[in-house]
Structure 1
Amino acid sequence: MEQVILVDEKDIALGVMEKMEAHKKALLHRAFSVFIFNSRGELLLQQRSVNKYHSGGLWTNTCCSHPRPGEDTLQAATRRLKEEMGFDVPLEKAFTFIYKTEFVNGLSEHEFDHVFVGYYDGQITPNPQEAESYIFQSFSQVAQLLKEEPARFTTWFHIAFPQIRNWWNHRNEI
């Protein structure tokens, strides 16, 4: 039984709960999102497996999930990147955000999301239970796709993408 860490708006742990129960009750819990860039500054997107419990078949950031109780969030992000996309790289924390969304199947996401960034140009071997496909896209390509076909992307990606683009632009001004 997979559990998530319930948190408050300051990311202070309040306890644990079975993952699906937390998603049914829309309780705020700790999560992470990983954004991987190649040497050309393109973002690695994954298309979620159609068999996922929500947002199946939609495009999103490289990897996302929840840390296990007692697990450091950075370690969880590193673990999950390897499990989902078949590689690991050093990750650095970029920022956090909170979002809440409901899905047509009665589930919801209410997450305190820790965003991590890494860089990779090597072999990608996605786990087919997690990802249908993947592609590297420039910021302008992603922005155009989000504008033209917003329903092809996850809810949280719509929220996180402008923030990761701002983070990238600020980081590369230096």
Structure 2
Amino acid sequence: MPLNHVPTTREVAMESVILLDDSGRAVGAADKATVHHRDTPLHLAFSCYLVDSRGRLLLTRRALSKKTWPGVWTNSCCGHPGPDEPMAEAVLRRLRQELGLDVPAVDLVLPRFRYRAVMDDGVVENEWCPVYRAVVDDDPRPDPSEVEEWTWVDWAPFAAGVRGGTRDVSPWCRRQVEQLDALGRWPAGWPIADSAELPPAARPASATVRSTS
């Protein structure tokens, strides 16, 4: 997708995020631009880890203009599904928007990941954030308003550095890596999770996009 891409009406509508109750059910929606503050409500998000056929992870550094954790290295891609948008389709959409990558399919690997983190200035992230994995061998063409820089890293030493505290990454990435590394040292072989384990607001009405086996 070109960097001068003009969002469609549907893409603009996707700038609302889904608010959740403590059981993961949808209770409303909020403007993505204003949802993050010192009392951020629990909302639905996702993370995606892109790995290549050599077992490397695409690591990205968040743009300096980002409201939360600017300039911090993190996983390949993050985002929020819009109201009534299937979760896996939202991941594919965000990969196109943020990284300029057309990925054929994504796999669900951590369906119930949830976290809360507070920045030094008091701004809070509070997300139920299922984690997906996709295999791709193309380099990204990222949107500079989202991604400051990127690199491919070998999974094993990266995960060891994160777990050992010598590799600085976003708080959600750190907790995800701890869980992902327990699934196996070869990212392309991480087992695919059942979409029934997703929070209720994220469960697909029909399996139109491959996100589970």
Do both share a fold (TM > 0.5)? Answer: yes
**Is structure 2 residue 94 aligned with structure 1 residue 80?**
yes
Provide the identity percentage: 31
Query: CA RMSD for the aligned pairs?
Result: 2.2
Matched-pair contact (CA < 8 Å) for 2:183–2:190: no
Q: Distance in 2 between matches of 1:135 and 1:57?
A: 14
* Partner secondary structure for residue 23 of structure 1: coil
SS at 1:158's partner residue? helix
Larger fraction in helix: 1
Instruction: Write the mapping of 1:84-103 to structure 2, written as runs, cut at 5 A.
Output: 84-89=98-103, 90-95=105-110, 96-103=112-119
Aligned length: 173
What residue is the counterpart of 2:26 in the other structure?
A: 13
- Pick one of 35, 41, 53 that aligns with 2:67: 53
Q: Which has the higher strand share?
A: 1
Alignment-derived partner of residue 140 in structure 1: 156
Question: Which has the larger displacement, 121-130 or 11-20?
Answer: 11-20
Asked if 1:40 corresponds to 2:42, the answer is: no
What is the CA-CA distance between 1:71 and the residue it aligns to? 1.2
Q: Relative to 1, partners in 2 of residues 1:16 and 1:37: Cα closer, same or farther, differing over 3 Å? A: same
Q: Distance in 1 between matches of 2:120 and 2:86?
A: 32
Q: Secondary structure of the residue that 1:22 maps to in structure 2?
A: coil
Which residue matches 2:180? 164
* 2:140 aligned with 1:124: yes
Separation of aligned partners in 2, 1:173 and 1:73: 19
Secondary structure of 1:55's counterpart equals: coil
State the 4+ residue runs in structure 1 displaced beyond 4 angstroms.
none
Structure 1 residues 105 and 3, CA, compared in 2 at 3 Å: closer, same or farther?
farther
Structure 1, unpaired ranges of 5+: none
Looking at structure 2, the residues matched to 142 and 58 of structure 1 have their Cα atoms a distance apart, in angstroms, of: 15
C-alpha spacing 1:173/1:4, structure 2 compared with 1 (3 Å)? closer
Identify which range, 123-132 or 14-23, moves more after superposition: 14-23
| Larger mean Cα displacement after TM superposition, 164-173 or 5-14 | 164-173
TM-score scaled by length of structure 2: 0.74
Which residue in 1 is equivalent to 2:41? 27
Report Cα offsets for 1:132-167 as digits up to 9, x if no partner.
1111112222134433544x3111011111112223
Task: Give the Cα separation in 2 of the matches to 1:123 and 1:43.
Answer: 11
Secondary structure at 1:105 match in 2 = coil
Deviations 1:26-45 (A, max 9, x none): 21100000001100111111
Deviation of 1:11 after TM superposition, in Å, equals 2.2
Larger Rg over CA atoms: 2
Q: In structure 2, what is the Cα distance between the partners aligned to 1:126 and 1:173?
A: 26
Match of 2:83 in 1: 69
What TM-score do the two structures reach when normalised by structure 1?
0.89
